[in-house]
Amino acid sequence: MEYFGHMGFGGIMWIVIVGLVFYLGFVLIRTGGDVRGSDSALEILKKRYAAGEISEEDFKRMKNELLGG
């Protein structure tokens, strides 16, 4: 604990910042870069089609629009 007394407030803040960087890196690796954790537009479209919310024609049209085709 004596070591922290010599570092002062700036040293403690440095430790906090480094800790946050490691934590954010861990979160990005764990989520595969998708921090939001939400489904992609195509996944939502597939779920809506599977649930019967949209017709096959609507599904194909929207899928083509999403994929740029």
pLDDT in 10s for each residue of the chain, 69 residues: 555 556 677 778 889 999 999 998 887 787 676 655 566 888 899 999 999 999 999 999 999 988 886
Q: Are residues 4 and 32 in the same domain?
A: yes
Q: Are residues 1 and 32 in the same domain?
A: yes
Q: Are residues 2 and 32 in the same domain?
A: yes
Predicted confidence at residue 41, as pLDDT, reads 86
Predicted confidence at residue 36, as pLDDT, reads 59
Q: Are residues 62 and 49 in the same domain?
A: yes
Query: DSSP assignment, residue 22?
Result: H
Predicted confidence at residue 67, as pLDDT, reads 85
Q: Are residues 45 and 67 in the same domain?
A: yes
Q: Which domain holds residue 53?
A: 39-69
pTM given for the model: 0.45
Q: Are residues 28 and 45 in the same domain?
A: no
* Domains: count for the chain: 2
Q: Are residues 6 and 32 in the same domain?
A: yes
Predicted confidence at residue 21, as pLDDT, reads 94
C-alpha distances out from residue 40 to 12, 15, 45, 64, Å = 39, 36, 9, 15
